[in-house]
Amino acid sequence: MTGTPPPGQLRAQTRITVPNPKIMVNLLGTGDEILRLIERSVRSDVHVRGNEITITGTPAENASAERLFTELLELIEKGETLTSDAVRRTATMLEQDGGERPAEVLTLNILSRRGRTIRPKTLGQKKYVDAIDAHTIVFGIGPAGTGKTYLAMAKAVQALQAKQVNRIILTRPAVEAGERLGFLPGTLNEKIDPYLRPLYDALHDMLDPESIPRLMAAGTIEVAPLAYMRGRTLNDAFIILDEAQNTTPEQMKMFLTRLGFGSKIVVTGDITQVDLPGSTTSGLRVVREILQNVEDVHFAALSSADVVRHQLVGEIVDAYARWDADRESQQGQPVHAAPGRNAQAGRTGRNR
């Protein structure tokens, strides 16, 4: 977009030369689609002629635009095909100024299979992945679509393949949307299966489907409800507790104390999506207060800025946060608002 310089600030020009025609074609995009998105993302005027990019604006505006072009060119030079999503995420990370280069965040490979690579797509996701590497217990807390469980499972498969652990254990509480297992049709396994299905789906993205039954039969991968964890000590394992907002404080304590030697735990959940009955307290809501000063336990807060589903999902999360804030101001009562793009770590809310 075109920026109007503040009084007293003259407009200047910055030129970037791209010697490789193939890189320039990727940078412009089909029908100049990428170029138009870049133009909307910066305040300077952008003009392309041949292999030269001319940026016109105030020195500060030009510096910001040049940073964006530099990161996008590095992505292309690293073999990435530039997409509109990559441009938007790069621009967002530069605005956040989180101390990490977008080109490094967006090219951090966690897992690759059949030409498909799993990697963080936001600064928050990169910090979450780094925390999993650095700590024994990590809590990934944030709204739907932020990749909390998916990235944790990718790190688990990576650890298994690197022989850092001997097995992966995936678990969930069998409580959701007010349903009770006793009222569902079928055998116990048939009743439990719908709650565990998202974990199976993610596994199929990361491993050859034909290998999964063999790994499960050997006990290398275990997918089970949370109740099955009681009384066990889990050594040399990568353990993931998903949908942890549906645990009670007692269940959370039971799970965390299963930790054995050589193991790592990742707990994921969304404190705005609690399905526990009545006034039952969520174990995920209180665990931060209990463990915040315990060494080697890390809490990673993800927000709507880290949503990697359709762009509208992030907007929906923010819209519900605003609605809850308005309701709180009208009623004069505390309402747990969903964490928005500028939310502080630990802020809570509803985003249904």
Per DSSP, the three-state class of 65 is helix
Phi, psi of 264 (to 5 degrees): -135, 140
Task: Please determine, for residue 254, whether its predicted confidence score (pLDDT) is greater than 70.
Answer: yes
Contacts of 339 (CB under 8 A, 6+ apart): 142, 143, 301, 302, 303, 304, 317, 321, 347, 348, 349
Number of H helices, E strands in the chain: 12, 11
Per-residue confidence (pLDDT) for residue 349, from 0 to 100: 37
| Residue carrying the six token digits 């050859």 | 208
Contacts of 146 (CB under 8 A, 6+ apart): 124, 125, 302, 303, 306, 307, 308
Question: Which residue ranges form the domains of the chain, and what is each CATH number?
Answer: 12-107 (3.30.1370.10), 115-331 (3.40.50.300)
> pLDDT of 305-330, one tens digit each?
898 876 677 778 778 878 877 877 77
Average of per-residue pLDDT across 280-306? 94
> pLDDT of 23-34, one tens digit each?
999 999 999 999
Verdict on whether the full-model pTM lies above 0.85? no
Per-residue confidence (pLDDT) for residue 23, from 0 to 100: 93
Per-residue confidence (pLDDT) for residue 298, from 0 to 100: 98
13 contacts 56 by C-beta, under 8 angstroms: yes
Higher pLDDT, 285 or 323: 285
Higher pLDDT, 207 or 4: 207
